Amino acid sequence: MSRKIIRGGLVITATEELRADVLVDGERVAAVAAPEIAEQWVSTADAVLDADGHYVIPGGVDVHTHMQMPFGGTHSSDTFETGTRAAAWGGTTTIVDFAIQPVGGSPREGLDAWHAKADGRCAIDYAFHMILSDVGDEALKEMDTLVAEGITSFKLFMAYPGVFYSDDGQILRAMQQAADNGALVMMHAENGIAIDVLVRQALAAGRTDPRHHAQVRHPLLEAEATHRAIQLSRVAGAPLYVVHVSATEAVAEIARARDGGLSVFGETCPQYLFLTADELARPGFEGAKYVCSTPLRPADHQQNLWRALRTDDLSVVSTDHCPFCFTDQKELGRGDFSRIPNGIPGVENRIDLLHQAVVEGRISRRRWVELACTTPARMFGLHPRKGTIAPGSDADIVIYDPRAEHVLSAETHYMNVDYNAYEGRRVTGAVRTVLSRGDVIVDAGTYQGRAGHGAFLRRDTCQYLV
Ligand SMILES: NC(=O)NCCC(=O)O
Ligand SMILES: [Zn+2]
Ligand SMILES: [Zn+2]
């Protein structure tokens, strides 16, 4: 087993920042100690990684990705191989992707299909949530078995009628099951029935461009669904995690629930923090690159999202990485915005974008780590194995250069998609070295990882529940 020392860096976790060295023994962190104490490790080490002038942070945990996901007549363009490699380049060492129960099929079929896609192909460790798209007696029973297998969270959709949509009765039943088996229900909270009416009206009136995507997906329809999901979860006695929150009015619903002592949690994504609905109105069909749901919002929503991240009304920043190429996939919705495959790429850019928020004074360094690594790991039953740097944790570690500048671009990114949503944006801070379970997989611009290094993680249940 190889012993490595990471020397001279500033170790940042969600709770502290300290000048310390980190001893890695095999796949795990063996010790974190002051440099004078760590001095004695040097003679027994196989490698010393110099982190002078760098931050030493836990590897990122991205709990919302969609690799190779069937959607809108196509598949998201990153495979587990390309997507996890890109994640590694961007300092993320764990993803939790969404397996999908096929309509008319069982969650088990969905899980088997996702294992087949991911097994032997991932560069970093991975786990699955399960999307329930056909809630019935059998699927509800299977939830219990899946929890026992480490699939401890289930996403339901109040949007996309005819695709993933569940009605309120199905949602309530799934929540009741989760209240019994300890699973966490994740909600795509948009009123899909009302949205579909507005979509039909817009198309009939000839409003077919990408910018109408955000207009029909009204903030109040996000807020209404968020409110309804919270009330259903109260009736069921189950906790609730609302994914990709973008609207001020939806944040207010979550804040009110949390102030009332409910186990309700919110996630947002970099696209809602750094991009606005103006992107959808780009010339020609360019706006299609920015079609995702919930949609990008007008600029005034952003300051509320940032504030909610500071007050913990929003607790996690994930990417909802769901890439579709502009040239041949987004194209499917030319002339009808409702046919544009929904999703934005970002798994490679999250750590850098959030660091930019540190540089700009929006969040602290510890909050950066908490939002991107520690809380997602705790929320989804992966902590303390993932999301922190402590004796016994997996040695998933990023050595981060806080001063290096670089420009986000499709020319240089590793995601398998032909555009970057943040094209041309200059950021301060860059990943230098990435360790995944003790192995160096990225170092100084070279990739040393391999498909199949990443292992499937059986997760515990959410650690925020009382
Ligand atoms: N978010 C999005 O636009 N696409 C991925 C599917 C989902 O998360 O709803
Ligand atoms: Zn969603
Ligand atoms: Zn998603």
The predicted complex's ipTM stands at 0.98
Residue whose pair of structure tokens reads 């669904």 in the numeric block: 225
* Range 235-260 average pLDDT: 98
Query: In the prediction, which pLDDT does 197 show?
Result: 98
Backbone angles phi, psi at 460, to 5 degrees: -80, 180
Identity (one letter) of the amino acid at 105?
Answer: G
Query: In the prediction, which pLDDT does 252 show?
Result: 98
Over 60: is that where the pLDDT of 466 sits? no
**pLDDT tens digits, one per residue of 11-24:** 999 999 999 999 99
Question: Within 13 A of 193's CA, how many CA atoms are on the CB side?
Answer: 6
Residues 6+ positions from 252 with CB-CB distance below 8 Å? 223
Backbone angles phi, psi at 329, to 5 degrees: -105, -50
Who has greater pLDDT, 227 or 72?
Answer: 227
79 vs 82: CA distance, rounded Å: 5
Over 60: is that where the pLDDT of 237 sits? yes
Percentage of residues in the chain having pLDDT higher than 90: 99
Over 70: is that where the pLDDT of 340 sits? yes
Which mutation among 68, 76, 320 tests ligand 1's pocket best, with the greatest number of atoms within 8 A of CB? 320
- Inter-CA distances, 222 with 174, 185, 333, Å: 20, 17, 23
- Inter-CA distances, 76 with 188, 343, 447, Å: 18, 8, 23
Query: In the prediction, which pLDDT does 464 show?
Result: 86
Ligand nearest to the CA of 319: 3
- Nearest residue (CA) to ligand 1, atom 1: 293
| Contact yes or no for 246/295 (Cβ under 8 A) | yes
- Nearest residue (CA) to ligand 1, atom 4: 343
Distance of CA 316 from the midpoint of ligand 3 (Å): 14
| Contact yes or no for 384/456 (Cβ under 8 A) | no
Which mutation among 244, 246, 297, 321 tests ligand 1's pocket best, with the greatest number of atoms within 8 A of CB? 244
DSSP β-bridge partners for residue 7: 50
Distance of CA 404 from the midpoint of ligand 1 (Å): 32
Query: In the prediction, which pLDDT does 159 show?
Result: 98
DSSP characters for 49-92?
Answer: EE-TTSEEEEPEEEEEE-TT-EETTEE-S--HHHHHHHHHHTTE
**pLDDT tens digits, one per residue of 274-289:** 999 999 999 999 999 9
**pLDDT tens digits, one per residue of 132-173:** 999 999 999 999 999 999 999 999 999 999 999 999 999 999
Query: In the prediction, which pLDDT does 1 show?
Result: 78
323 vs 379: CA distance, rounded Å: 25
Ligand 1, atom nearest to 342 Cα: 3
| Contact yes or no for 397/24 (Cβ under 8 A) | yes
5 vs 460: CA distance, rounded Å: 30
Q: Which fold would CATH assign to domain 1-466?
A: TIM Barrel (3.20.20)
